[in-house]
Structure 1
């Protein structure tokens, strides 16, 4: 199995970021992720270059200054505490991110050609979806989903899987362009877990080859701060071990002319969907909902 697609915490660290995945380091053309850690009173300046970016607080609050505007992000205590607001950054912009109390902030990105306006999205605008039932139950925060928030190429969502459940199941893929049926999208998974009495959480991620059996092949134990790169292949399940809830941030982008998330289920496992109407959604979900619009 390949190991280059599983980046344990620290493997993708750079001088500026706790995690930095670029198209160049990933070996593909479009999707990127940065995780910025700021100390109290910290400030970070970046140039968005040829990409569009969303600043998404993982823990803490921050202020984002771009194109003469200032967006104050309320943020959240952790990814398990609630939905967060976020800010969209256009390409070819200089951006300043500051945080009075410090925190951890994801920058989800994709190469693009159009320059859309910078803007702030409140937490109340984020649709919270419950997907699957029974042991396949999970929560999806569709903050940057296609059809929800306007970007040119970037698609980004958060998934929360209760302890002991399986996400990204049935395994699915989006590595070929079939109009109306399947999108061609690169994908990044970034993980965090709840601890139990000081013991860090963990989970497992599977990616198996599609097509002629060659391609990405990963079976990884994943922990806080780990990243899995998925240029192709059937991905899933994402397994949360008992006792530890699992969070992952999905970042997707690709060459297709239409910004869409169209997937094809693995033919050996697609039948599991037919069992979902017979089972209730895990009563632990939703872990939280978006606040009411003011």
Structure 2
């Protein structure tokens, strides 16, 4: 596998992030309005922005999209959006955790194209993400039956992903996903770089070229409140290639601006966790980054069929050492990879039997 090349957007912020000179995290729960601004020199993104509103019934929020496309995502409550002469109802009455675990996402969203006028009213919490665009379109309500959800990973890196908005027939450059992490689980393992199907020449040979993409991750914890926030958190990591550049403890309502690379997240052991992820690429570049696992970590992906197979409830919770040795030999696992596999199986409640 070729080493991944750093995309250009990460360059201006890399050293400042690594040295702690820029903090990409924002606590949003006391903010009404714009949360993250690409014009801010201390915000390590240049495309995406984020708004958050706590609405009361008497409030009216005007919104003009100009040369940006928006997606509005209710967190809790019900809202009326008047846009271009029409009226759209948007709601999430019981909050984002209502159907989890096991029941899937209850997410909905409203896409607003460039050059439209809207007015927002209602009661509850509403967030919005936007990025530059130049393609006209129509407002579009996206409800749960239109979203795609599936389980990803196995063991401690198993999580649910729901694609709410993908570039194509609706948006031009804007992607919106929701990730659900059971307590103590990770998302985005193995770490993956987002790249185009293209290469550039380097002194070491060909390298994959990452898209000039960026992301905002909005974190929600089921257990939340000022009295428990110090103990309920997630860990947001920002990586470049195979190197971890920075880790941040994030709490319910925190937003993190991420200038590309890989960004795995770990949930707190005490509570489950949701990440609302917005992604964007510049106008004219491929709009949907392709995720490719980093080779040094891809043994985790190879372990998944084995772990999922032994988790079949019709099988006894035992794994023979002979089968483990055969599996490790098949995939050329060394001592490190084998120990991770064995430890994971034990943590999942399986006995390792035989000589």
Q: TM-score range by the shorter chain?
A: 0.7 to 0.9
Closer/same/farther in 2, CA of residues 141 and 77 from structure 1, 3 Å limit: same
Q: Indicate yes or no: 2:32 matched with 1:6.
A: no
Who is 1:79 aligned against?
A: 96
Instruction: Between the two structures, name the one with larger relative contact order (CA 8 Å, sep ≥ 6).
Output: 1
Who is 2:38 aligned against?
A: 23
Q: Indicate yes or no: 2:125 matched with 1:94.
A: no
Deviation at 1:160, TM superposition (A): 0.8
Q: Which 5+ residue runs of structure 1 have no aligned equivalent?
A: 284-294
Who is 1:47 aligned against?
A: 64
Deviation at 1:196, TM superposition (A): 7.4
Deviation at 1:243, TM superposition (A): 1.8
TM-score, with structure 1 as normaliser: 0.83
Who is 1:208 aligned against?
A: 239
Who is 2:15 aligned against?
A: none
Write the deviation string for residues 108-148 of structure 1: whole angstroms up to 9, x where unpaired. 2111011111121222111112111111111111111346x
Deviation at 1:43, TM superposition (A): 1.9
The higher radius of gyration belongs to 2
Contact map agreement 1:187 1:230 (CA 8 A) in 2 = yes
Who is 1:194 aligned against?
A: 222
Secondary structure of the residue that 1:108 maps to in structure 2?
A: strand
Question: Residues 98-117 of structure 1 correspond to what in structure 2 (within 5 A)?
Answer: 98-99=121-122, 102-117=123-138
Deviation at 1:53, TM superposition (A): 0.6
Who is 2:152 aligned against?
A: 131
TM-score, with structure 2 as normaliser: 0.70
Secondary structure of the residue that 2:290 maps to in structure 1?
A: coil
Write the deviation string for residues 60-88 of structure 1: whole angstroms up to 9, x where unpaired. 11011111111011323211114132211
Contact map agreement 1:61 1:76 (CA 8 A) in 2 = yes
Closer/same/farther in 2, CA of residues 3 and 106 from structure 1, 3 Å limit: farther
- Looking at structure 2, the residues matched to 265 and 114 of structure 1 have their Cα atoms a distance apart, in angstroms, of 32
- Looking at structure 1, the residues matched to 23 and 293 of structure 2 have their Cα atoms a distance apart, in angstroms, of 21
Who is 2:179 aligned against?
A: 159
Deviation at 1:277, TM superposition (A): 0.9
Deviation at 1:28, TM superposition (A): 3.6
Q: Which 5+ residue runs of structure 2 have no aligned equivalent?
A: 1-17, 99-104, 200-207, 313-355
Who is 1:119 aligned against?
A: 140
Write the deviation string for residues 243-276 of structure 1: whole angstroms up to 9, x where unpaired. 2111111111112533213123222212210111
Who is 1:291 aligned against?
A: none
- Looking at structure 2, the residues matched to 143 and 37 of structure 1 have their Cα atoms a distance apart, in angstroms, of 22
Contact map agreement 1:183 1:261 (CA 8 A) in 2 = yes
Contact map agreement 2:69 2:133 (CA 8 A) in 1 = yes
Q: Greater share of helix residues, 1 or 2?
A: 2
Closer/same/farther in 2, CA of residues 3 and 277 from structure 1, 3 Å limit: farther
- Looking at structure 2, the residues matched to 36 and 129 of structure 1 have their Cα atoms a distance apart, in angstroms, of 30
Contact map agreement 1:23 1:32 (CA 8 A) in 2 = yes
Query: What RMSD over aligned residues (CA atoms) do the two structures have, in Å?
Result: 2.7
Contact map agreement 2:44 2:257 (CA 8 A) in 1 = no
What count of residue pairs does the alignment treat as equivalent?
272
- Deviation beyond 4 Å, 4+ runs, structure 1: none
